[in-house]
């Protein structure tokens, strides 16, 4: 739970000695509360007070590590119910299910395909995180082989799912050092699975039907020393799962420690579109791990896009470096397109220029990462800022024309930009999607 400045101040020596570099203990407490300064910067905090503050400030949801090395991911440690109140910290891990009933070739092919499920979006690489190997056969040897095969072929960390703790033990041994998430689907086997998780140093996912049963189970496992725990409330279907995920997050944030663990949700629809809808919903509300049968790129991309959008910091717009970009083999007659340095704006323009196959310069003006209309409305995208950005490029000496293309939504800026910069202005399409047609049909006219 985040502590207030006053909570922290109560535990400080209150001598105002300034050894921390701040004028008063209260000022120091306020900085600690907003994470601008670490508590350790005060050399006079007693061990008891530090321990009390550490305990009180422990995140309400346990941090759990799955996988090892390059495949390692962390889930949990969330502190908010609503993203806008701060941000969500640990993106949901997306796992694609593979059945151990499949033959060896099918398992390898599917795992390789899952390992390739990665996309480039707004300059960032987004990808599936896990393969979830399901012991549908009930056979320990099949699970062991399938888990090893899926991990090797995908290069990803594993969730190993079984109703039998003994089967999990064999698979965990086969994946020794790779720290799979051991998911015991039968609550009656949870105690035995906890022993496996401890022996193999793996995180454990447990299922119980209903929140009360789940809280009882997690409390018993905590007594056994299992802290690396993920919870499946046993709900299936969109509405019950959404309700359970939301209730667990609410209770965890109220410091109900028995439910203070990351959660796992499974998509259950047989319909491919609904699988993507379900998974995207659980990403938004509040699953830490989503296991799904969806594995086609058209299913996975919207799930990962939702995750990327939900887990960006709402107070920090995603921005590209403000500068002049060359898209394609630009020459001295290439058009100069103006946009802002908001990632989505820039990459929308860049991808449409690429699609048009008309090489162009793209000038990303520094608008503190805001979009064209937002920046225009807040006066960050105006004749002065565009001209300043243009002058910094030195472009004038490199090309044979003096024409800029402004986004159609800010046509109103054209006269001001012409006056301020001395460059001519053409009005481009309102949306980046219109650029290929605009560039090809040559609405853009070079001066004679």
The residues that touch ligand SF4, with contacts defined as CB under 6 A, are 12-13, 15-20, 22, 25, 28, 42, 44
Q: How far is the CB of 10 from ligand SF4 (least distance, A)?
A: 12
Distance CA 276, CA 292 (A): 8
Cβ proximity to ligand SF4, 43 vs 225, nearer residue? 43
Tell me which DSSP letter residue 65 carries. E
Cβ proximity to ligand SF4, 25 vs 248, nearer residue? 25
Report how far apart, in Å, the C-alpha atoms of 433 and of each of 109, 121, 350 are.
36, 16, 11
Q: How far is the CB of 42 from ligand SF4 (least distance, A)?
A: 3
Which sign does the torsion angle of CA 20, 23, 26, 27 carry? Answer: negative
From the CB of residue 47, how many other CB atoms can be counted at a distance below 10 Å?
Answer: 7
Main-chain dihedrals φ then ψ at residue 367, nearest 5 degrees? -120, 25
Say if residues 62 and 227 touch (Cβ distance below 8 Å). Answer: yes
Say if residues 146 and 119 touch (Cβ distance below 8 Å). Answer: no
Cβ proximity to ligand SF4, 57 vs 80, nearer residue? 57
Cβ proximity to ligand SF4, 21 vs 166, nearer residue? 21
Cβ proximity to ligand SF4, 20 vs 204, nearer residue? 20
Q: How far is the CB of 45 from ligand SF4 (least distance, A)?
A: 7
Q: How far is the CB of 41 from ligand SF4 (least distance, A)?
A: 7
Strands (E), 26-174: 64-66, 73-75, 93-99, 118-121, 124-127, 130-134, 157-162
Distance CA 445, CA 217 (A): 71
Q: How far is the CB of 4 from ligand SF4 (least distance, A)?
A: 16
DSSP 322-381: -SEEEESS--TT--EEEEESBHHHHHHHHHHHHHHT--EEEEEE-STT--HHHHHHTTSS
Q: Which helix (H) or strand (E) holds 403?
A: strand 403-406
Cβ proximity to ligand SF4, 25 vs 410, nearer residue? 25
Phi-psi category of residue 442: left, alpha or beta, with phi > 0 → left and psi -120 to 50 → alpha:
left
Q: Which helix (H) or strand (E) holds 231?
A: strand 229-232
Say if residues 279 and 302 touch (Cβ distance below 8 Å). Answer: no
Q: How far is the CB of 26 from ligand SF4 (least distance, A)?
A: 8
Say if residues 390 and 364 touch (Cβ distance below 8 Å). Answer: no
The rounded Cα 277 to chain-centroid distance in angstroms is 17
Cβ proximity to ligand SF4, 9 vs 342, nearer residue? 9
Cβ proximity to ligand SF4, 20 vs 338, nearer residue? 20
Q: How far is the CB of 55 from ligand SF4 (least distance, A)?
A: 20
Q: How far is the CB of 27 from ligand SF4 (least distance, A)?
A: 8
Q: Tell me the H-state helices in 190-331.
A: 190-200, 211-223, 238-253, 272-284, 297-310
Q: How far is the CB of 54 from ligand SF4 (least distance, A)?
A: 16
Cβ proximity to ligand SF4, 14 vs 357, nearer residue? 14
Q: How far is the CB of 52 from ligand SF4 (least distance, A)?
A: 16
Q: How far is the CB of 194 from ligand SF4 (least distance, A)?
A: 42
Residues written for the chain? 448
Cβ proximity to ligand SF4, 19 vs 396, nearer residue? 19
Cβ proximity to ligand SF4, 30 vs 163, nearer residue? 30
DSSP 386-402: HHHHHHHHTGGGTSS--
């Amino acid at each position: 739970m985040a502590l207030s400045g006053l909570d922290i101040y109560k535990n400080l020596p209150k001598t105002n000695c300034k050894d921390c570099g701040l004028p008063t203990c209260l000022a120091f407490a306020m900085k600690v509360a907003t994470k601008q300064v670490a508590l350790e910067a005060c050399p006079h905090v007693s061990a008891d007070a530090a321990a009390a503050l550490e305990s009180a400030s422990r995140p309400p949801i346990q941090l759990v590590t799955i996988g090892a090395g390059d495949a390692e991911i962390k889930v949990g440690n969330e502190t908010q119910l609503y993203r806008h109140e701060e941000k969500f910290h640990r993106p949901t891990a997306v796992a694609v299910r593979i059945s151990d009933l499949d033959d060896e070739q099918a398992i390898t092919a599917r795992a390789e395909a899952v390992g390739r499920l990665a996309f480039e979006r707004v300059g960032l690489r987004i990808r599936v995180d896990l393969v979830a190997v399901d012991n549908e056969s009930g056979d320990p040897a099949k699970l062991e082989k399938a888990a090893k095969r899926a991990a090797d072929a995908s290069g990803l960390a594993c969730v190993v799912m079984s109703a039998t703790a003994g089967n999990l033990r064999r698979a965990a041994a086969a994946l020794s050092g790779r720290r799979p998430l051991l998911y015991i689907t039968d609550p009656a086997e949870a105690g035995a699975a906890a022993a496996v998780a401890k022996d193999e140093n793996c995180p454990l996912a447990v299922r119980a039907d209903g929140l009360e049963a789940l809280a009882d189970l997690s409390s018993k496992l905590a007594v056994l020393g299992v802290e690396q725990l993920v919870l499946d409330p046993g709900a299936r279907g969109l509405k019950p799962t959404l309700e359970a995920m939301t209730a667990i997050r609410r209770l965890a944030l109220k410091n109900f420690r028995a439910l203070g663990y990351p959660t796992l949700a499974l998509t259950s629809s047989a319909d491919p579109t609904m699988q993507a809808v379900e998974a995207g919903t659980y990403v938004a509300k509040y699953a830490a791990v989503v296991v799904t049968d969806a594995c086609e790129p058209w299913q996975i991309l919207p799930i990962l896009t939702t995750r990327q959008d939900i887990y960006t910091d709402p107070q920090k717009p995603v921005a590209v470096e403000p500068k002049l970009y060359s898209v394609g083999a630009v020459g001295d007659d290439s058009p100069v397109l103006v946009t802002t340095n908001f990632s989505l704006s820039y990459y929308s323009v860049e991808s449409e220029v690429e699609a048009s196959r008309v090489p162009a310069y793209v000038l990303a003006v520094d608008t503190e990462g805001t979009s064209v209309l937002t920046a225009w409305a807040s006066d960050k995208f105006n004749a002065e800022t565009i001209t300043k950005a243009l002058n910094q490029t030195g472009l004038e000496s490199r090309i044979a024309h003096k024409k800029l293309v402004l986004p159609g939504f800010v046509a109103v800026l054209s006269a001001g930009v012409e006056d301020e910069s001395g460059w001519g202005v053409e009005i481009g399409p309102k949306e980046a999607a219109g650029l290929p047609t605009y560039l090809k049909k040559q609405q853009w006219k070079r001066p004679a």
